[in-house]
Amino acid sequence: MTYLEQVISESQRMHTLLDIMGRMCTNSIQLKGNDGLTCTVEPGTKIILPIHSLQRDPKYWTNPEAFDPDRWTEERKSAITKYAFLPFGEGPRICVGLRMALLQVKAAIATLLMKYRIERNPRTTYPVKIGLLGVLSTPTDGLWVYLKRL
* 95 in a known ligand binding site: yes
| H or E, element range at 5 | helix 2-14
Please provide residue 42's backbone torsions phi and psi, each rounded to the nearest 5 degrees.
Answer: -90, 155
Q: What is the DSSP string of 84-140?
A: S--BTB-GGGS-TTHHHHHHHHHHHHHHHHHHEEEEE-TTS-SSPPEEEETTEEEET
The annotated binding site for heme is made up of: 95
